[in-house]
Structure 1
């Protein structure tokens, strides 16, 4: 049995750890609320963009814009969204595990794919595994603005537009509820018929100048950037929810550990007192 001092030291250190995890839980809860608000605020913009895409691209079934054309996939592009910090449960592991599995199943050579990574955890993991990273973006704010992620979104679009890759997929953790987060894959390029016709068609009666192809060349890249940004907002909400849950579980485990250690401490203290009483009684009896 450990000594009283050792048990007392463990109780004090566990209490301090519990204070930290409880504070981190509260911080993540606050960040989650802001992330959900950001997603809700971004939704009207996406709906208007989808209306415009439906009106322009959905009506023109013969559009030759490369973002709407399916082509033979000779090289794939992967945009992976992870966090910059740990302590988020299985948030990063699930996404990266899914990515590695798909790469191993689909490709025989590194020349057949290109990887773009958001988040330091993803960068470190893929480098340690020996994967070549085409471009990365780290130190992403907890509540990212469109301008802060526009560079890597534009890079993903340029890779497809320049035919360096023939498809672009996003690997991320989809936020369902606070307790449910699903590793997901979204194909953003080429745009599927569903992506280009999900609006309500409220602009279908408009006349477009100079012509629809010219408009598509401007609006489609912006739409894809918006899809990527919306996905990042979704992933950020999932990250904050996962970290909040992980810190709550850590606090609950710390409480249980403190209770167990306190019980052990009381038993050891009682045993020490009993031993002292026995020694006193024994010594007194020896003097008589």
Structure 2
């Protein structure tokens, strides 16, 4: 049975752990506010961009003129971009993304499709390297401060892979932020581009484009890929901070419960020790009387 000193030492250790988890919760909350503001500002632009691409795509014939929108007759090779965090202590956030990626890879391999992996995040990279998956590229630090330059560089590499025939399709697995307690691992097909359908006439108005649809699409389609990539960065970064904040809050509450239970155990053990001492004193006194 643990001594009073051992229990007291354990209570102090749990209280110190609680202080750490509370501090991490506050840090995650501060980062979450900034990341969420950036995400919300960018999503207004991203949604409008998707709407414009949809209108432009509706005004041209899908005859293979635009390579980024043309599906391959046979899909043999796929490039998968997996976005995970570089750090842990965020509950099941990384694990859910990794499981989604692993199931996706196994499904495609069962269909006879070769899958190459771009691991954007230390947790995903370490997991798949340990299991000897084909990791084409390793990236870290993308979610610390999502920016257009990183999205542009990664998007351009993916476009080159697609145009050179090294990948027939490109997918991204990211975490879609729904709420503070709900972040969904999501699979997005990045290439070939499938814009949301939009009619050329909307609300009785006809849109006139200058220059032509073709010229605009040639210029905007690569930017569409970059924007989609940056949108995935923002959503995953916000999801990471939300998951870490929730995990640290739960850990802090668990520490409080554990301290309460240990304090009760300590008091019971202390009371038992005092009772034993009193019984020894009373027993000694009775023995002296006799």
Give the TM-score normalised by the residue count of structure 1. 0.91
For residue 264 of structure 1, report the CA deviation from its aligned partner: 0.2
In 1, the alpha carbon distance for the partners of 2:100 and 2:159 equals 23
In 2, the alpha carbon distance for the partners of 1:275 and 1:164 equals 79
Which residue pairs with 2:254 in the alignment?
253
Pairing of 1:129-148 with structure 2 (within 5 A): 129-148=131-150
Which secondary structure state, in structure 1, belongs to the residue aligned with residue 172 of structure 2? strand
Pairing of 1:14-163 with structure 2 (within 5 A): 14-62=14-62, 64-71=65-72, 72-107=74-109, 112-163=114-165
The worse-fitting range, judged by mean Cα deviation, of 104-113 and 2-11 is 104-113
In 2, the alpha carbon distance for the partners of 1:136 and 1:265 equals 50
Alignment RMSD (CA, Å): 2.3
For residue 28 of structure 1, report the CA deviation from its aligned partner: 1.2
Which secondary structure state, in structure 1, belongs to the residue aligned with residue 234 of structure 2? helix
Unaligned stretches of 5+ residues in structure 1: none
Q: 1:5 to 1:256 in 2, by over 3 A?
A: same
Which secondary structure state, in structure 1, belongs to the residue aligned with residue 146 of structure 2? coil
Which secondary structure state, in structure 2, belongs to the residue aligned with residue 107 of structure 1? helix
Which residue pairs with 1:6 in the alignment?
6
In 2, the alpha carbon distance for the partners of 1:52 and 1:242 equals 33
- Give the conservation status (yes or no) of the 8 Å contact 2:142–2:233: no
Pairing of 1:150-189 with structure 2 (within 5 A): 150-189=152-191
In 1, the alpha carbon distance for the partners of 2:50 and 2:68 equals 15
In 2, the alpha carbon distance for the partners of 1:157 and 1:199 equals 27
In 2, the alpha carbon distance for the partners of 1:139 and 1:193 equals 29
Pairing of 1:183-262 with structure 2 (within 5 A): 183-194=185-196, 197=198, 205-209=207-211, 211-262=212-263
For residue 183 of structure 1, report the CA deviation from its aligned partner: 1.4
Unaligned stretches of 5+ residues in structure 2: none
The worse-fitting range, judged by mean Cα deviation, of 183-192 and 152-161 is 152-161
Give the TM-score normalised by the residue count of structure 2. 0.91
